[in-house]
Amino acid sequence: MVRKTEIVIKDLKSLISSKGYIYIRCMIIFEDFHINPEKIQELNLIKRLSHKEVSLLLGFLIQNQINFTPPDLWQDLIQMKQKTYELMEELVETKGVRSCNITKLVEVTLSNRNRNRGVRRTNSIIR
């Protein structure tokens, strides 16, 4: 049975707020976006997160104070990374990623974060 999008997002946000999740995000970016040209024929884009999915993770990550404390065990990093991929796959299955506008979701996330911190967004270029 496919869970509701809201429940999957809640689980994803809970995981992202875990101690040291910033390191998981760094691992995902490194592994999913750095390609070895000698192994390009082995590339499986389906198993990698898209830039929109990684942007969504970043949006959820910056909603709260980032916890830079590393996890107690390196195995925890691997488990959290695997859980991230599982939840993102589940989110795709609920049509939560493909049916919504990720850019808009990230903008709303950033807007809410800035509003909570008293920052006003302007359309002018910062000089």
Average pLDDT, the chain: 80
DSSP letter string, the chain = -PPPHHHHHHHHHHHHTSTTHHHHHHHHHHHHH---GGGGGG--GGGSPPHHHHHHHHHHHTTS----PPPSSHHHHHHHHHHHHHHHHHHHHTTTTTSS-HHHHHHHHHHHHHHHHTPPP-SSPP-
Q: What is the pLDDT of residues 98-127, one digit of tens each?
A: 445 555 655 666 666 666 555 444 444 443
At 7, the pLDDT band (50, 70, 90 cuts) reads very high
Q: What's the pLDDT at 102? A: 55
pLDDT at 86 over 90: yes
Mean pLDDT, residues 44-59 taken together: 86
